[in-house]
Amino acid sequence: MSELTVRAVELDAADELAGTRKQFVLDTVSDRAADAAGVYLDGNSLGALPAAVPGRVDDVVRRQWGALRIRSWDESGWWTAPERIGDRIAPLVGAAAGQIVVGDSTSVNVFKALVGAVRLVSGGHGDEARDEILVDATTFPTDGYIAGSAARMTGCTLRPVTPAEVPGALSARTAAVLLNHVDYRTGRLHDLPSLTAAVHAAGAVAVWDLCHSAGALPVGLDEHGVDLAVGCTYKYLNGGPGSPAYVMVARRHQDSVRSPLTGWTGHARPFAMEETYEPAPGIDRMRTGTPSMLSLLALEAALTAFDGVSMNDVRAKSLSLTSFFLDLADEVLVPLGFEPVTPRSPDERGSQVSLRHPSAYGVVQALMARRVIGDYREPDLVRLGFAPLYVRHVDVVVAVSELAAVVAAGEQDDPQYAVRTVVT
């Protein structure tokens, strides 16, 4: 592989984003020797730790909570954090300020966004004209589960389709369409501009789930007129385990959108403690309860890794990594029984590559034992994420090499991998 390594080193030397890697803690040695260094290709599940986070969290705990206590809601900017951090995410997904608020999990935000979307066109319980929600049937399942509940509670019918089927499925009955920008399983990038335009042409509202695209590629929410969007922050945005998700509502909808989760922090006058709910002006109305400040402020520190970074450079790096991997996979891994399922066309690819293999679970476990961290997805996928801010081309070479070594040695069939435990 030495020729390949030379090529990888050349690519890394020319990398516009080479400097961002040092903003992450990647070479930590824990109490186990196996944790030292290694190649981390699971940033599409849990982003690596940004170096700015530990100090910030310690300050939040010891000084802001421990010393200032309740006064930190004002003096440490806790109260305004959901919108302030939303405004840090906004440029990464192509949204102007004042359209994103951070808080709650992705699942909760899908509920808020989808019910809010239906109410924009139907005024509440589905009327006869618009009583159908389309949902990407290939998406991460929580979107479908939540969409099912949102449909039931708004008197709508839920219709699962693939993204390709959306244009044909749209009708005068369609209230809202929930789509995933990048498929979590295959890594396929769906055509946000044209699908959004098709949804609008049908008079419906487009809700996009950006979990697997935000932070890895330009999204262009405003440019393409997206109505609402949600996303997690612990994948390519590196906010930490379970860091709060966000919801985006386009400014043109903010006066009319109605959240089903009418918590006090979204009230027009939250501290007046009034008996009647009146939604706040602007994006604030999408707030629900008191946000988890430790996780929220860790995210704020994590986002500094994107300071001065162009999302076009991020996209170029991401495609360079995944193209390099796919080229090597064709040469080295396909002959060993792997089948790439991620699209070859850069226009249809996110920032991950998934390989089908009949013993995918064992392959991933054996790969991790060799200190290359990826993950497994049912029923037969090896999933590898290429976080553009810290993954290098030399890591690609190591990953391909170790994958080949695993299968060459038959390590994936080790009986210890017969029982499966998987976490997203």
Indicate which residues carry an active-site annotation: 140, 209, 234-235, 383
Count of residues near a second copy by CB under 8 A: 94
Helix (H) or strand (E) holding 322: helix 311-328
- Binding string, residues 109-138; x marks residues near a second copy by CB under 8 A: --x------------x------------x-
Residue in 283, 373, 400, 404 binding a second copy, rule: CB under 8 A = 373
Crossing angle for the helix pair 311-328 and 393-408, nearest 10 degrees? 30
By CB under 8 A, is residue 157 in contact with a second copy?
A: no
Task: Write out the binding residues for a second copy, residues 198-217 only, by CB under 8 A.
Answer: none
Q: Which of residues 13-32 bind a second copy (CB under 8 A)?
A: 25, 28-31
- Distance between CA 311 and CA 216 in Å, rounded? 8
Nearest-approach distance from CB 175 to a second copy, in angstroms: 15
Minimum separation from the CB atom of position 281 to a second copy (A): 17
Rounded to the nearest whole angstrom, what is the least distance from the CB of residue 138 to a second copy in the complex? 9
Q: Is 369 in the site for a second copy (CB under 8 A)?
A: no
Candidate residues 163, 215, 240, 340; the one interacting with a second copy per rule CB under 8 A? 240
Is the CB of 114 or the CB of 217 nearer to a second copy?
114
Choosing from 18, 61, 129, 268, the residue that interacts with a second copy (CB under 8 A) is 61
Restricted to residues 394-413, the positions that interact with a second copy (CB under 8 A) are none
Task: Give the nearer residue to a second copy in terms of CB position, either 22 or 63.
Answer: 63
Q: Is 354 in the site for a second copy (CB under 8 A)?
A: no
Q: Check residue 314 for interaction with a second copy (CB under 8 A).
A: no
Choose, by CB under 8 A, the member of 23, 106, 122, 196 that binds a second copy: 106
Question: Least CB distance from residue 91 to a second copy, whole Å?
Answer: 24
Give 266's Cβ-side CA count (13 Å radius).
22
- By beta-carbon proximity to a second copy, the closer residue of 11 and 373 is 373
Kindly write out the interface string for residues 258-297 of this chain, putting x where it contacts a second copy by CB under 8 A and - elsewhere. --xxxxxx-x---xxxxx-x----------xxxxxxxxx-
Sites for a second copy among residues 62-81 (CB under 8 A): 62-74, 78-79
From 60-68, 192-200, 352-360, 407-415, span contacting a second copy (CB under 8 A): 60-68
Question: Can you give the chain as a three-state secondary structure string?
Answer: CHHHHHHHHHHHHCCCCHHHHHHEECCCCCCCHHHCCCEECCCCCCCCEECCHHHHHHHHHHHHHHHHHHHHHHHCCCCCHHHHHHHHHHHHHCCCCCCEEECCCHHHHHHHHHHHHHHHHHCCCCCCCCCEEEEECCCCHHHHHHHHHHHHHHCCEEEEECHHHHHHHCCCCEEEEEEECECCCCCEECCHHHHHHHHHHCCCEEEEECCCCCCCCCCCCCCCCCCEEEECCCCCCCCCCCCCCEEEECHHHCCCCCCCCCCHHHECCHHHCCCCCCECCHHHHHCCCCCCHHHHHHHHHHHHHHCCCCHHHHHHHHHHHHHHHHHHHHHHHHHHCCEECCCCCHHHECCEEEEECCCHHHHHHHHHHCCEECEEECCCEEEEECCCCCCCHHHHHHHHHHHHHHHHCCHHHCHHHCCCCCCC
- Check residue 304 for interaction with a second copy (CB under 8 A): no
Min. distance of Cβ 338 from a second copy in angstroms? 21
Query: Which of residues 18 and 61 has its CB atom nearest to a second copy in the complex?
Result: 61
Taking the complex as a whole, the smallest distance from the CB of residue 74 to a second copy amounts, in Å, to: 6
Q: Which of 94, 98, 144, 282 binds a second copy (CB under 8 A)?
A: 144
